[in-house]
Amino acid sequence: MSKANRLAVFPGTFDPITNGHLDVIKRGMRLFDELVVAVGNNPEKAAMLDAKTRVEVVRQSTVDIPGVRVEMFSGLTIDFAASVSATVILRGIRDSSDLHFEYDVALTNRVVAGIETVFIIPSTEHAFTSSSLIKQIARMGGDVSAMVPPAALPHLKACCNAPGPDNTLNE
């Protein structure tokens, strides 16, 4: 495969996108020429932000990263990957729980669709970051500004009345 053909998909709900997601995206761009950040829905999770808002926030957060495009998708990740001619799925692994789950999914995707998965371990400062944890902190009025890109903050504040860095609402 020539370098020009290296296209990967980074799927997720991105509800909200985190600085950990951005870390995986930036580091993934060192490996691939193009990365499609695929914003989807997980039927097992209730989304805080609607899909259209999540796509827009991810676009705003990645606008300065060459080679990244953001698309909404529904259905199976392997079907979406095939539709954009991706040969790789990119995933971030924070801990052994992530690895256990993602390992099984990666094996299944390879058997079912012949698509490989590349795992990236996050930078140390993002290893604890999860959208679920951020949503919980935001819902309880905590400051999440160090864990999400600036584009996500107004949407979290609108949903949760999350305070900004000075612990006041910056509306």
C-alpha span between 141 and 164 (Å, rounded) = 10
> What residues act catalytically?
21, 45, 94, 131
Strands, sheet with 68-72, edge to edge from the N-terminal-most edge strand: 68-72, 34-39, 7-12, 88-92, 116-120
Give the ranges where 114-141 is alpha helix by DSSP (H).
Answer: 131-139
Helices H / strands E in the chain, number of each: 6, 5
Determine the straight-line distance between the first and last CA of the chain, rounded to whole angstroms: 50
Tokens, residue 54: 């999540």
Strand partners, 37: 10, 70
